[in-house]
Every structure is written in structure tokens, then in C-alpha cells.
Amino acid sequence: MSIITFKYKDTIISTPNLEKKLKRMKLSLNDIEIIDTPIKKEEVTEEPNNLKKVIIQSSLDKMQYISFVPLDFSFPPIEEFIKKDLWNPITKTGIKEFTPEYIKTLYYVN
């Protein structure tokens, strides 16, 4: 089972069922920020020494996806970078919103 972590109003929340959690909180995906790896509450705001932050954003809904990558990261095409996160209907893993149409709206912010 995969746990999804997101941020809502300075609060970090983890859940195994994002859709159900958002429904209970009466929120939409536009109200939250998905976090790739859980952040400890006492997180230091600096990036780790050997990593840099990469932000991908959608021009459709302004949703941001943040990843930490090696310093020598070379910004491949978005499709290649997020292929591990694509929704797989057979295994029911990945991010459901990452449809081919949605991926076309993504771009690197930095």
C-alpha cells in the first residue's frame, strides 16, 4: 500500500487513500501540495548538500510537483522524468491525474 503525503495550510498529512481523505476534508487537489517524500515536522528548509530541488508545474491548474535530484541533473523531457509516477490501471499505482493530456501541461519551473 502506498502512502501519499501532502501539505495543506502548513500541515503535513499522510494517507493511504488521497481521494477519500480529500473528500472527508472537503478539499480538492487544487487546495493541496503533493509531497514526494514525507517531510518531518521539524524539517530544515535547506536542501540536502548533494541534492537540488526540481519543481514541475502544470499550466492547467498551477499544481506543483517537487522532487530532489542529484546536483548534476540534466532536465530530461517531462515525460521521461515522471514516467515512474504515471498511473497504471493494471497495478493501480501511480498518480491518476498524470494522463497524457495532463502531462502536456507540465513544465519545469527552475
Cell numbers placing 14? 499522510
Question: With the C-alpha atoms ordered 110, 67, 27, 19, is the resulting torsion angle positive or negative?
Answer: positive
pLDDT at 44: 46
pLDDT at 77: 92
User: Who contacts 75 (Cβ-Cβ below 8 Å, separation ≥6)?
Assistant: 54, 81, 108
Q: Which residues of the chain have pLDDT under 70?
A: 1-2, 37-48
Cell numbers placing 52? 537540488
pLDDT at 107: 92
Alpha helix locations (H) across 13-93? 18-25, 78-81
pLDDT at 73: 87
Assign residue 26 a region: left if phi > 0, alpha if psi is -120 to 50, beta otherwise?
Answer: left
pLDDT at 108: 92
pLDDT at 40: 54
